[in-house]
Amino acid sequence: MTTTLLLNRCHYPVTALGPGVRAGIWVQGCTIACPGCVAVDTWAATPEAAVGVDAVMGWLSTLDGPVDGVTISGGEPFQQPQAVGALIREIRDWAGPGRLDVLVYSGYSLSRLRSRTHLSALVDLCDAVVTGPYVRARPDGGWLRGSSNQVLTPLTALGRERYGAESVEATRSGEPEAPLKAPRMQVSVEGGRVRMIGVPRRGDLDRAAEELRRAGIEIEGASWWS
């Protein structure tokens, strides 16, 4: 029987959450509840959001275009480590070695993830992780990070090549630069809903809403208005 994953959504192509052209997978369920989170629609861990890992792989393996990497966000991927681990192993089997990188977001610190054996094992499956809660009171975090306390940690040779820092300390002291032309945000329209993908700077989403309002488009039910 296939492992099931609480899934919020999948999207392709994603260009604002890591290098290259990527597949984005957002899981459903997060109890961390950071004030100011832009994804409050992913907080509830609803059983009806469960899908088989094989269904996600079916989507991924039939994408019509290049897949340089997969970004798994949420929601909190480390609150369903068995399912996310099964998914990453399937991705590795499908892609083969070194072809794509896997970047995973977590609201937990890396030291907390490393202190629990089953979570540390999931970290070891990733090429890079962005860890730490979103803290609204902190400044913007730079490429791929919403607040400056969050840390981008490459974990493999491919991760170091693509995410540009040798260690957690290097990431903290030497701000990794986004690849040229990598957008901070992208917009997609899916099923009548407008999706903002990426890591916005402070006020970006409210400024975008204001611009749309001026253009006569009113936003209702935005996920960042908690």
Q: Is 41 in the site for ligand SF4 (CB under 6 A)?
A: no
Q: Enter the tokens of residue 187.
A: 């917009």
Distance of alpha carbon 126 from alpha carbon 103, whole angstroms: 6
Q: Is 103 in the site for ligand SF4 (CB under 6 A)?
A: no
User: Which of residues 5, 39, 110, 125 is near ligand SF4 by CB under 6 A?
Assistant: 39
The residue (of 34 and 158) whose beta carbon lies closer to ligand SF4 is: 34
Distance of alpha carbon 206 from alpha carbon 210, whole angstroms: 6
Q: Is 42 in the site for ligand SF4 (CB under 6 A)?
A: yes
Q: Is 90 in the site for ligand SF4 (CB under 6 A)?
A: no
Segment contacting ligand SF4 by CB under 6 A, of 69-77, 119-127, 153-161, 191-199: 69-77
User: Which of residues 29, 75, 198, 200 is near ligand SF4 by CB under 6 A?
Assistant: 75
Q: How many residues does the chain have?
A: 226
User: Which residues in 184-200 are b (16+ Cβ under 10 Å) and which e?
Assistant: ebbeeeeeeeeebbbbb
Q: Enter the tokens of residue 145.
A: 């990070």
Contact 76, 33 (CB under 8 A): no
User: Which of residues 7, 14, 37, 123 is near ligand SF4 by CB under 6 A?
Assistant: 37
Q: SS3 letters for 68-91?
A: CEEEEECCCHHHCHHHHHHHHHHH
- Beta bridge mates, 214: none
Q: Is 113 in the site for ligand SF4 (CB under 6 A)?
A: no
Distance of alpha carbon 159 from alpha carbon 140, whole angstroms: 22
Q: Is 74 in the site for ligand SF4 (CB under 6 A)?
A: yes
- Shortest distance, position 181 Cβ to ligand SF4, whole Å: 26
- Shortest distance, position 47 Cβ to ligand SF4, whole Å: 19
The residue (of 158 and 197) whose beta carbon lies closer to ligand SF4 is: 197
The residue (of 34 and 196) whose beta carbon lies closer to ligand SF4 is: 34
Residues at the site binding ligand SF4, with contacts judged by CB under 6 A: 30, 32-34, 37, 39, 42, 74-76, 107, 133-134
